[in-house]
Amino acid sequence: MALVEIRNVHKSFGNLEVLKDVSLSVEEGEIVTIIGRSGSGKSTLLRCINALETIDSGEILIEGQKIGPKMPNLKEMRQRVGIVFQSFNLFPHLKVERNITLAPTLTGRVSKKEARALAERVLAKVGLAEKIDSYPEQLSGGQQQRVAIARCLAMSPHLMLFDEVTSALDPELVGEVLKVMEDMARQGMTMILVTHEMGFARNVASKIVFMHQGRVWEEGSPAELFSNPRTPELQAFIGSTRQI
């Protein structure tokens, strides 16, 4: 069974249908990159996977469990599915250590005595061990985003979702965040990413999903989609990204 199964999902906001019969599967250890123009449904799909948005029809399963706001163990599911947004969402009045350990201690995953060691461990993974006692305002945007990733890793997720995590960063800070994500990929983390970073998609992803007008328009390996796009829509999209 795939880690994530998305079957015939529809989602509308009022009269606007944002997702139209979307189906997709993600195997454990896969790095799936979702690309497409703004408004194609990419971020909405990601939010539906984590039940931050409810779907109108179809179904989404994670580890065989049907996802939805009424599922009895929704909180436990969200502990297994980390999500990182373009805005860092760190608590400005808390030090980095507490930003990372707040959720694990509140849920009882670790004791307060074990919390600092956990923070040190996940910060080391994102190259920020020395920032454990800093406040968010003392960090660059790239460092704050790496702390946000570390905060998710502290919950030992089975799946990580990334929604345009580099789009709010200055260009010189993008690379440090992408490096952390590349390291996670090498370590076997299953990831679904919405991104405009075509270099990352080409070099790291195991599968590319191109969304257009709320549908999965094409999917395949990076070599297949970038070298031989089958539809004029993907050809035009790739052409436009090469000009940036």
CATH of the domain at 21: 3.40.50.300
The yes-or-no verdict on residue 73 having pLDDT over 90 is no
Residues whose CB falls within 8 Å of the CB of residue 96, separated by 6 or more in sequence, listed in order: 119, 123, 128, 131, 132, 133, 134, 135, 136, 139, 147
The yes-or-no verdict on residue 236 having pLDDT over 90 is yes
Domain region containing 160 = 4-242
Residue pair 2/25 in contact (Cβ under 8 Å)? The answer is yes
| Amino acid letter, 106 | L
DSSP string, 11-23: EEETTEEEEEEEE
What is the spatial distance between Cα 102 and Cα 185, in angstroms, rounded to a whole number? 25
Q: At 59, which helix (H) or strand (E)?
A: strand 57-62
Residues whose CB falls within 8 Å of the CB of residue 158, separated by 6 or more in sequence, listed in order: 3, 28, 63, 80, 81, 190
Distance of CA 146 to the CA centre of its chain: 13
What is the spatial distance between Cα 132 and Cα 227, in angstroms, rounded to a whole number? 44
Q: Report residue 243's pLDDT band, with 50, 70 and 90 as the boundaries.
A: very low
Question: What is the total count of domains within the chain?
Answer: 1
* For range 43-65, the mean pLDDT: 94
* For range 63-77, the mean pLDDT: 86
Residue pair 192/211 in contact (Cβ under 8 Å)? The answer is no
The four Cα atoms 180, 182, 185, 191 give a dihedral, to 10 degrees, of 80
Residue pair 180/197 in contact (Cβ under 8 Å)? The answer is no
What is the spatial distance between Cα 229 and Cα 104, in angstroms, rounded to a whole number? 44
Residue pair 42/211 in contact (Cβ under 8 Å)? The answer is yes
Write the pLDDT tens digit of every residue in 74-83.
888 888 899 9
Q: Report residue 59's pLDDT band, with 50, 70 and 90 as the boundaries.
A: very high
Locate tokens 């050809």: which residue?
A: 235
**What pLDDT does residue 206 have?**
95
Reading the block at residue 158, the tokens are 């089975």
Residue pair 140/69 in contact (Cβ under 8 Å)? The answer is no
